[in-house]
Amino acid sequence: MKKILALLFILVSPAAILTVQATEGVQTIPQVTDAWRGAVTPYLWATNIGGSLAYGETQLASVDYRARDIISNINIAAMLTLEAQYGRFGAMADMVFAKLNAQKSEVLGKPNLSSDTTVEQGIYTFAATYTIHNTKDTYIDGLAGVRVMNVVARTDLKVADSVYGSSNSNAKTSTTPIAGLKGRVRLGESDYFIPFYIDVGGMGQDTEVTSQQMVGVGHAYEWGAATIGFKNLYNRQKSGGITTTQSLFGVVAGLSFSF
């Protein structure tokens, strides 16, 4: 984490920005044309997870896992963003999947009970986009679409100093409409830029509210761009007697390959 933050500091250093001039042939800000263009962006999201999980009246204590704990307990993870555009119209997909091994937690109000919870989750955002502002220094897309959340949770309850216990598991998928903005702002006359993303949604099948935000700094190259920044996702769902509240915040870094 310290190395990532150090890299972020270097990238946003005023000295680095002011002394670097634009490279010939590099398109820092995308331009609207009557031709197809797109990008594929694999990325890493070193996120902390905070939230709670409740099965009816049985509520687990608040969870707060740091990125280093998640990395040591993760089974599998995949993160990818796809974008395609023709003229001002386009489409995007942001896909995150992760499976965490059993995590220890407590049961609120019942100190003699403990639990292990395994969570498998997919977060998939699909949206249509439209370019509402485009200059040599700024690019802004409006977007409207859906966020699909798939969660499979299993909790094994254990009685202290006893072999007795029970298990509870559930799986659910919810689809929630979202709307937002994304884009880039160029820094001076350099190849550096500030990428940003924000969306908000709710009133979906099971989701009361969902919102995702990202801001960072990037550097454009002939093949695409490298970015690093901070990303946050908040989500609150309630369905079938299960209430899940999540807050995911952490450093995100990716490589975007343009075509």
Residue 242, pLDDT score:
59
The matching CATH number, chosen from 2.30.30.760, 3.30.365.10, 2.40.128.90, 3.90.470.10, for 2-17+41-258 is 2.40.128.90
Residue 10, pLDDT score:
46
Q: Give the number of other Cβ atoms within 10 Å of residue 219's Cβ.
A: 19
Taking the complete model, does pTM exceed 0.85, yes or no?
A: no
Residue 208, pLDDT score:
79
Residue 27 CB contacts under 8 Å (≥ 6 apart), including other chains: 220
Q: Name the amino acid, one letter, at 190.
A: S
Residue 169, pLDDT score:
57
pLDDT digits (tens), the chain, 259 positions = 454 445 444 444 543 444 456 676 788 999 999 999 999 999 988 876 665 555 555 555 445 445 455 445 544 567 999 999 999 999 999 998 877 665 555 555 555 455 566 677 788 999 999 999 999 999 999 999 999 988 776 666 665 554 445 555 566 778 899 999 999 999 999 999 999 999 999 876 677 789 999 999 999 999 999 999 999 998 877 666 556 777 888 899 999 999 9
Listed by start position, the domains of the chain span: 2-17+41-258
Residue 15, pLDDT score:
39
Residue 122, pLDDT score:
86
